Structure 1
Amino acid sequence: MSAASCLRSEDQFLCCICLDVFTDPVSTPCGHNFCKNCINEHWNSNDQYLCPMCNKVFNTRPKLHINTLLSEVVSQFRQEAQQKASSSSSEQQADKPGEVPCDVCTGTKLKALKSCLVCLASYCETHLEPHLTASRLKRHQLMDPVENLEDRMCMKHDKPLELFCKTDQTCVCTLCSVLDHKTHEFVPLKEEYEGKKAELGKTEAEIQEMVQKRRLKIQEIKQSVDLSKEAADREKAEGVQVFTALKESVERSLNELIETIEEKQRTTEKQAEDFIKELEQEISELKKRSSEVEKLSHSADHLHLLQNFPSLKAAPPTKDWTEVSIRPSYEGTVVKAVTQLDEMLSKHMKKLFEAELKRVQQYAVDVTLDPDTAHSELILSDDGKQVHHGDVMKKNLPYNPKRCTRYVHVLGKQSLSSGRFYFEVQVKEKTDWDLGVARESINRKGKITLRPQYGFWAICLRNGNEYRAGNNPPVHLSLKSRPQKVGVFVDYEEGLVSFYDLDAAALIYSFTGCSFTEKLYPYFSPCPNNGGKNSAPLIICPVNQTE
């Protein structure tokens, strides 16, 4: 049987549903054949019973019986196909898609085993034999089979590309090396191949290293998410605990306030009730005396009137009610309760502050002042921990691009480009000062404004009592007391800069939602001496972590 007839026969034995040789073939009333299971599943999944081939619709589901004749023919076809496959398994297979075919084979192309760079042809096992036995052909360069061997030939000289021109970074033939590229540097393809292969190996190693770094970064990010979740859960639990306690305290204070007011009202009502009872009793006595007086005044018995007159002339003894009043006073009751609640809340706030401060203090850094950034009128201590304005003529200092020349500022030596840091500064006895952090690219020579868009996140004191945060617009701060020592905390990734009054145990101000893109440095300005009124220094203090 020819290949064409075999294919036609196979087409006749294919089910149009599964596209495979029939299994248990059945025939529909319209004469088309299908696998029994295929047509049943087809009808089970559709609302109508129609033929997949001609779309004929059947009113009722046809009863299907296996086509015995077709089943026998299909079985015979399967046997013949298996025998053909078995007989050809011992022979060399023809080339498959993706494999290089033999250039010599006629008819069915067999798979090539080698390609010859001299002959520019690929050979199967049979046609390769001369290259393995003939002495002249043995000198030809064989390689693993490749397609498009003509691409390995010099298009200009029709010679194999055997050299690599390092000057032009291209593959050339031997004629190119003495004609078009005679002044260039050449190496054999194999040598360049080895070099490039080594580079690829290095590149692969670098890529693998990059992959590993990114995997580690993924792990780091996942760990950060886990830590964040733990921190969030911890904060939520602490928040619930604190606010539950506050809620209970407020409810308890409210209940105590209501009970106090109601008790005072009960006392007032009892006092009024006693007064009314006493007054009613006196009224009863007075009415009784009035009745006796009236009766005596109508008496015609002279002797009787004169004898009883002395006892009835005067009113019966009674209480002087002139100064007696019911004036319940509730003024101050609510104020007192709120004051007590405020004291209780202050205690809670102090505990929360201490916990917050303890958390940020763990990021304390040993900050020192950078003399290269200090304005020429500033005087720094030898240990770099104190700075004040000298109120003297400018020192003749060498030019330094880092130095602040217009305003009396100085930066810290330490910088932050990720993570968190914290430091504390003593500001007592000063009437003016600036304190915070500044980005590396601030204007150090010209006019500046203490605002985030100019690279400053700072708070300041002016005229001894005016506290401001350098935001846009500036924020006036109402502080209960003058800070003596200020804590500064920065969370780079969170975009947070917070200032704490350590003596009052209170948060002064926070810059939130900041976008940091470069290094941040601690920023200090003791401000002008002002004739000695502001001579006290800013002092960077060691951080004593709270217990």
Structure 2
Amino acid sequence: MAAPLSSVGRLCSLTGRTFAPVLAAHSWRSVCPAARRSYITASTGSNVQFKLDERTAHSSLDLFKKDTGIIYRMLGLDPSQVQDNPERFRDWAVVFGDQKVSGGRHYWEVTVKKSLEFRLGAAEALMSRDDCVGTNASSWVFGFAQRKWFAMTNNKAVPVALVGKPDRVGILLDYEAGLLGLVDVEKPRIIHSFRAKFHAPLCPAFGLWDGELLTHCDVEEPAGLH
């Protein structure tokens, strides 16, 4: 992203605590050793079939519909009452999918009509749980806040030209091609994309600060996307 997007730099209140603006830089702390991670086998074939991983879910997020949907609870649970494990995001309302991708081309969709602030994309499976998706070089997301879309990685955002707010969008991940795209499912077409060299397994990644999201990984990639 070229420059910080001021429209998404408002304060977030998570589990009753007030944090710095979402775009603010965050210091890196040590990531738990890989030996303590226990993800399901990596997907290298066609569409990754995932559910949301409760082990990673911040205490303000509830999963529903057989772990394919997320609801944001403004107060959420007291973090001390949530099972502690090295997978969980402690400060940011983030959750990962329970599959990791290390190759292939994958497509999923997300119903976004019931949220006004969210982030969708992919992140390295071993990304620091002290960071929010989009604030480091290990995550690539498309977000919506203050009625505007943006693309964000490495703590920088660029506006995404998208008329209105669709009820549902698609995410296209081509690991070998280094492509992550936001898809207009009505056209269909890629609205905006990241180009990067992926060096580590990736997980579907979601941030939510309002309402709810519903994921759909049992859908086919629309024809003609590049």
1:431 alignment partner AA = L
Partner of 1:364: 47
Unaligned runs of 5+ in 2: 1-44
How many angstroms does 1:468 deviate by?
A: 0.5
* Equivalent residues of 1:426, 1:538 under 8 A apart: yes
**Is this contact kept in 1: 2:188–2:222, CA < 8 A?**
no
Indicate the SS of the match to 1:470: strand
* Equivalenced residues, count: 175
Structure 1 contact 460–470 (Cα < 8 Å) conserved: yes
Normalised by the length of structure 2, the TM-score is 0.71
Q: Is the 8 A contact 2:183 2:192 kept in 1?
A: yes
Change (3 A) 1:366 1:459: same
Does structure 1 residue 460 correspond to structure 2 residue 143? yes
d(CA) in 2 for partners of 1:449, 1:367: 18
CA distance in 2, matches of 1:545, 1:504: 13
- Whichever of the two has the greater Rg, that structure is 1
Distance change >3 Å, CA 388–CA 394, structure 1 → 2 = same
Structure 1 counterpart of 2:74, which letter? Answer: D
- Contact 2:117 / 2:145 at 8 angstroms: preserved in 1? yes
Q: How far did 1:525 drift? A: 1.5
Gaps of 5+ in 1: 1-361, 528-533
* Structure 1 position 408, deviation (Å): 0.4
Q: Which amino acid aligns with 1:540?
A: T
Residue 511 of structure 1 pairs with residue 174 of structure 2? no
CA RMSD between the two structures: 2.1
**1:442 lines up with 2:118 in the alignment:** no
Q: Which amino acid aligns with 1:539?
A: L
Deviation at 1:516, TM superposition (A): 1.3
- Aligned equivalent of 1:433: 118
Q: 1:449 to 1:368 in 2, by over 3 A?
A: closer
Asked whether 1:417 is paired with 2:99, we answer: no
Aligned: 1:406 with 2:81: no
Change (3 A) 1:489 1:452: farther
Contact preservation (8 Å) 1:452, 1:470: no
Residue identity in the other structure for 1:524: F
| Runs of 4+ with deviation above 3 angstroms | 544-547
Task: Tell me the percent identity.
Answer: 29
1:39-188 paired onto structure 2 within 5 Å: none
TM (normalized to structure 1)? 0.30
Instruction: Check whether the contact 2:107–2:220 (CA below 8 A) recurs between aligned residues.
Output: no
- Higher RCO (C-alpha under 8 Å, 6+ residues apart): 2
Aligned to 1:543: 219
1:380 to 49, 60, 63: 63
Are residues 545 and 489 of structure 1, via their aligned partners in 2, closer, same or farther at CA, if it must alter by over 3 Å? closer
From the superposition, tell whether residues 449 and 414 of structure 1 become closer, same or farther in structure 2 (CA, over 3 Å). Answer: closer
Contact 1:440 1:519 in 2 (8 A): yes
Q: Which amino acid aligns with 1:401?
A: P
CA distance 1:522–1:510, change in 2 (3 Å): same
More helix by share: 1
Q: Does 1:522 align with 2:198?
A: no
1:494 maps to 177
Any idea what SS the aligned residue of 1:372 has?
A: helix
Deviations 1:445-484 (A, max 9, x none): x24461562x111110001x11110046421112123122
Alignment-mate amino acid for residue 116 of structure 2: T
